[in-house]
Amino acid sequence: MAPSMAAAQPLPSSKTESYVDNKRKDDIRTANIKAARSVADAVRTSLGPKGMDKMISTATGDVIITNDGATILNKMEVLQPAAKMLVELSKSQDVVAGDGTTTVVVIAGAFLKQCQTLLHSGIHPTVVSDSLNKVAVKAVEVVTAMAVPVELSDRVSLVKSASTSLNSKVVSQYSSLLAPLAVDSVLSVVDPAKPDLVDLKDVRIVKKLGGTVDDTELVKGLVFDKKVSHAAGGPARVENAKIAVIQFQISPPKTDIEQSIVVSDYTQMDRILKEERSYILSMIKKIKATGCNVLLIQKSILRDAVTDLSLHYLAKAKILVVKDVERDDIEFVTKTLNCLPIANIEHFRAEKLGYADVVEEVSVGDGKVVKITGIKDMGRTTTVLVRGSNQLVLDEAERSLHDALCVVRCLVNKKFLIAGGGAPEIELSRQLSAWSKVLHGMESFCVKSFAEALEVVPYTLAENAGLNPITIVTELRNRHAQGEINAGINVRKGQITNILEENVVQPLLVSTSAITLAAECVRMILKIDDIVTVR
């Protein structure tokens, strides 16, 4: 194939480092880049505090309104492999940092645009790819140097960064409420023994329709999105509760082996009913004997968790019952209540119970939830009850809260803050182009173009906010050149200010991972020269 390659290239003979490739490969690469860029363009308008939302109607007919890049891309169902990689990229950012899912795609799109021009001017893709890697490494250095350390005790800074993340969402007007809430809930699950790790599974978000987002609250305890089973008039509120989490059922016995009860006459029927009653009664007596007055029953697919009959007896014994707790939730529940699950009535002992001040059923909007508060020796978990006036707002509120939680988690993992509002990107662009001047050859050229690519973030921010992007970006450049490294776009005021003073801050981890992940993804796309269809 070597001779045909040379023939395809009409350029002069000094083709060292020049790009020799055949047509097909060029086409595939261009097609990949185009596809990936169009994905990036689709989410570009939702970047920043004044970014727009997208309405997605899914194949099943559901409608989702969101501003979250990861969610939009996830629902887009793209087929082109390179476009799929951008979707994956956004997901990875979601996993690593939880926020900046739009930013990462927009940066990747801008890098790709530059790659296209570079490839056109005859630079070999591997050279482009290597320079991009250098850019990423250098960029992380620059951003890290800009970062401001933050202490976990500094609640104000944490709240600031959480509200920066929330400001770009539908629920931005509630950021003053949701931001402290997110900070408090994450801080309350941080284990002092391992101060760098947060498991967000310990923060549970319960959604309930009705009310407004204003009514969202942090519950120090547990919330079940379920009714108390009080068909037979059982209590709906218990004080000084002794709570048992049980994994067996209070219903007539059922064996695994197939069985049938043979009834031959009328008197026997009566006896069977009586036996059933006494069987259940004996169980409930055992439960009552330990002093338990709240039962959480695990869902069972094999048989009814409770029957009307057992509910009736439980009501008489003044025991509050919540049924159908999912098996997956048992761990969270037992961790919070600091109790052990009970799998058999024989093991029902007082030491396995959990204690709480109040267990009550609360009406929320049109539904009811069960709240357990004042738990004794509570585990390191929290529950957030999210409210919203309709399902769309509710879902979006949950997603936004998740992002905010992730932001706080990032800060716990890596205790550095950085300015927002396009400030780090423009600074990067400035320092990288300065750096490109000391490099040699093709590399210098590539680094310079990638430095320019990073300006896309402030440019888009300004554009989405209805400002003149060119004026804003050039002024921003000017201010940074004069040494104001924290100058950024203040979208509310529509001008450039010191963004740190405006409290627009974000975790360092979000910025660094956005750049490294975007670079990694673009390099992967660049290296592909063929799409092979396989089984």
Is position 42 an interface residue for another protein (rule: CB under 8 A)?
A: no
Taking alpha carbons only, the member of 441, 516, 429, 535 closest to residue 480 is 429
Whether residue 447 contacts residue 183, with contact meaning beta carbons closer than 8 Å, is answered with no
Is position 252 an interface residue for another protein (rule: CB under 8 A)?
A: yes
- How many angstroms separate the CA atoms of 507 and 410, rounded? 6
Closest separation in Å from C-beta 107 to another protein: 14
Known catalytic residue at 471: no
- Residue 62 vs 191, nearer CB to another protein: 191
Is position 260 an interface residue for another protein (rule: CB under 8 A)?
A: yes
Name which position in 55, 193, 262, 301 contacts another protein (CB under 8 A): 262
DSSP 8-state code for residue 346: G
Q: Which helix (H) or strand (E) holds 213?
A: none
Hey, how many other C-beta atoms are within 10 angstroms of the C-beta on 329? 16
Taking alpha carbons only, the member of 151, 192, 228, 108 closest to residue 514 is 108
Closest separation in Å from C-beta 139 to another protein: 14
Closest separation in Å from C-beta 79 to another protein: 6
| x-marked contacts with another protein along 465-504 as a string, rule CB under 8 A | ----------------------------------------
Name which position in 35, 47, 82, 143 contacts another protein (CB under 8 A): 82
Is position 530 an interface residue for another protein (rule: CB under 8 A)?
A: yes
Whether residue 82 contacts residue 525, with contact meaning beta carbons closer than 8 Å, is answered with yes
Q: Active site residue: 45, 66, 71, 101, which one? A: 101
Is position 279 an interface residue for another protein (rule: CB under 8 A)?
A: yes
| Cα–Cα distances in angstroms (integers) from residue 116 to residues 106, 109, 199, in the given order | 15, 11, 41
Binding footprint of another protein, residue count (CB under 8 A) = 78
6-25: contacts with another protein (CB under 8 A): 6, 14-20, 25
- How many angstroms separate the CA atoms of 504 and 520, rounded? 28
Known catalytic residue at 68: yes
Name which position in 267, 363, 390, 533 contacts another protein (CB under 8 A): 533
155-194: contacts with another protein (CB under 8 A): none
Stretch binding another protein (CB under 8 A), from 74-82, 227-235, 374-382, 462-470 = 74-82
- Residue 407 vs 491, nearer CB to another protein: 407
SS3 for 69?
helix
- How many angstroms separate the CA atoms of 325 and 311, rounded? 16
SS3 for 252?
coil
Closest separation in Å from C-beta 526 to another protein: 9
CA 16 to chain centre: 47
Q: Active site residue: 45, 66, 102, 334, which one? A: 102
- Residue 125 vs 234, nearer CB to another protein: 125
- Residue 95 vs 145, nearer CB to another protein: 95
Is position 299 an interface residue for another protein (rule: CB under 8 A)?
A: no
What's the CA dihedral at 388, 390, 393, 398 to 10 degrees? 60
- Residue 261 vs 438, nearer CB to another protein: 261
Stretch binding another protein (CB under 8 A), from 82-90, 447-455, 486-494, 497-505 = 82-90
Closest separation in Å from C-beta 132 to another protein: 11
Whether residue 189 contacts residue 201, with contact meaning beta carbons closer than 8 Å, is answered with no
Name which position in 53, 75, 76, 91 contacts another protein (CB under 8 A): 91
The angle formed by the CA atoms of residues 157, 162 and 167, to the nearest 5 degrees, is: 120
Taking alpha carbons only, the member of 201, 235, 206, 241 closest to residue 405 is 201
- How many angstroms separate the CA atoms of 308 and 452, rounded? 70
Closest separation in Å from C-beta 7 to another protein: 13
Q: Active site residue: 94, 99, 202, 403, which one? A: 403
SS3 for 379?
coil
- How many angstroms separate the CA atoms of 481 and 139, rounded? 17
Whether residue 422 contacts residue 415, with contact meaning beta carbons closer than 8 Å, is answered with no
Is position 435 an interface residue for another protein (rule: CB under 8 A)?
A: no
Closest separation in Å from C-beta 530 to another protein: 5
205-234: contacts with another protein (CB under 8 A): none
Is position 531 an interface residue for another protein (rule: CB under 8 A)?
A: yes
Known catalytic residue at 144: no
Known catalytic residue at 512: no
Name which position in 92, 444, 498, 503 contacts another protein (CB under 8 A): 92
Is position 528 an interface residue for another protein (rule: CB under 8 A)?
A: yes
Q: Which amino acid is at 234?
A: G
User: Euclidean distance between the first and final Cα of the chain, in Å?
Assistant: 27
327-386: contacts with another protein (CB under 8 A): 330-331, 334, 340-344, 347
In order, the DSSP letters of 382-438 are: EEEEEEESSHHHHHHHHHHHHHHHHHHHHHHHS-EEEE-TTHHHHHHHHHHHHHHTT
Is position 516 an interface residue for another protein (rule: CB under 8 A)?
A: yes
The angle formed by the CA atoms of residues 217, 222 and 225, to the nearest 5 degrees, is: 80
- Residue 5 vs 145, nearer CB to another protein: 5
114-143: contacts with another protein (CB under 8 A): 124-127, 133
- Residue 84 vs 316, nearer CB to another protein: 84
Residues with active-site annotation: 68, 101-102, 403
